Structure 1
Amino acid sequence: MNNPTFTPKKFTLFSGFRPTPRLVRAVDLAGQWAAPIMIVVVMIAAAIFAPAFFTSANLKTVSIQIAVLGVVTIGQTLVLLNRSIDMSVSAVLALGAVIVVQTESGNSIAISLVEAVGIAALIGLANGFLVAKRHVPPFVATFGMLVFVGGARLAYTKGQASGTVPNLLRSMSIESIGPIPAALLVWLVVNAIVIFVLRYTRFGRWVYAVGGNPGAARYAGVNVDWVLISAHVACSVLALLGGLLLSGYIGYVDLRLGGDYNMNSIAAAVVGGTTFTGGRGNMFGTAAGVALLIMLLNLVVVLGLSIHWQYAMQGTVLVFATALQGFRQYLLSR
């Protein structure tokens, strides 16, 4: 007599766990409101342990830093909404600032800006083409672009950036219009434009459709490749704008300009509720994520802690946001 075939049962730690719709909704809300709630917690902690955080000079610094990272993260969010990622934003940020500063002495600022925007758009176009048309994994394609652009910048500057930051950029970054820094106004205007596009235009609906289900979007007549390429172009141009604001704020460019903006832009977008799986996220959440990350990094400085704690803070924020996303996906799969 033949023995019956033994099939071992698959065992997981939560094999008997079945999430309720209420639990899924609670985790969903936690992902959406984690950043605003943490901002309130950080402000309370700052009021107790670091009152210097609320001085006018420090608040202006925080506002400008939020504006710079915020502009870059808007572009990163657009890419993430399309199930992609851009690891080259820091290189584009630095290259654009270098081009404007290096060429401003020989050209008018308008010509320099047009050149920088054109180069940034070409970099975004190359990223989008590699991801959409050649099907290169987004991390690999954009990380390769990061290395290429970084090398091109070193060749262009011969390893030594020089030149004067134009007065227009200085004014745009450090001057104020009333009590509000001009850089913060730039960020708010860009935010408003992108929010309008995502909410009220056909392209905005396509972005969420492509991120949610690219196959279904393609069957519905959406040009998926065009939407993805456009998102990468917008991301690179916004990274350039962030670089111009940053160079205007610090007053010079160097080889390390914007080095942290790859991970910071991803962390801010993700903690603000944008998912790596695409089709989910918004600019309000991204703005909250940016504000939270900058406030935490600034608080490290105000408290007089070692600068290395900033890296620990960045990693903690990203791990927390990713874990929350992963838990939500697990609940949905159950």
Structure 2
Amino acid sequence: MSSPVAKRMKSTKVIGTHSGTFHCDEALAVFMLRLTDEFKDADLVRTRDPSKLEPLDIVVDVGGVYSPEKHRYDHHQRGFSEVFGSGGFDKIKLSSAGLVYKHFGKEIIAKRLGTNVEDERVETLWLTLYSELIESVDGIDNGVNISSSPLAYTQRTDLSSRVKRLNPNWNEEATDAIFDEKFSQASKITGEEFLSQLDYFAFAWLPARDVVKQAIEKRLDVDQSGQIVVFEKSCPWKDHLFSLESSLSPSSKILYVLYPESDSPGSKWRIQCVPESTDSFVNRKSLPEPWCGMRDDKLSEVSGIKGGTFVHASGFTGGNETFEGVLEMARKALAF
């Protein structure tokens, strides 16, 4: 017979959520909880029976109670009004995913980075990942449009739609065991997306901030206008540029960014217009219209710049064989 101490050592936490049809928010909430130290080995109980939920260590998306102190994270009850709050995200009520992320997200991120929650990178990533992923899950679960513009067509490729399709179809067998198996698949899919985005922002997006910062600081060495920046290599730059250039005067706003197409010696170079906002397709200043849609020798002839490779038909980007050539393109475009 095992001792009481041995039993306690083998015991595990138990997460509770509702049974039956599932959604993205609780599938993701359960996955995120299992990324924490407290609930990393937790079992899962899916039920709507209050007597079975009551003794569980933590309950999400069911139970009619929001109480972080009691580890209860439901958002369906009348009068619920919790929002993310930080970073200006105060318009969309939280789903169970948002609630778990609000209270456990920093711990999860810090653990992934191998650092502590006081690391300034954790706060930046916590806000960014909410904006890029969790907010849309909250909005969709609460019936909030995720786009201010009506779409001409609907393409259900978002994470919430993918999870919804994992539920058994109306004309298929749908036992509790089948729902539980499908829920496990859904939680895995949401977790893969969560970790994929977290790793991208932590290990690719955030390090690019230093590249953009240095380019902005050196912009006057590139051109006296200060409206052209050069990146040492292609990187995710838009978010960082808009954030870092906020201290610049409106007349000094950056219009063009230049970067090599690859790390190879003798790489061709690209020019890209800065858009009006990170998600806009409208440029602050497009490349000259006569260049648009031109390639190679024809582009060089029209622009008067040797080594032209192309300019996109919409005028948002172009290229040249050399850095000197692409810099001349930027300077001519400024004056056009």
TM-score, normalised via structure 1 length: 0.21
Name the structure with the higher strand share.
2
Name the structure with the higher helix share.
1
Structure number with higher relative contact order (C-alpha < 8 Å, ≥ 6 residues apart)? 1
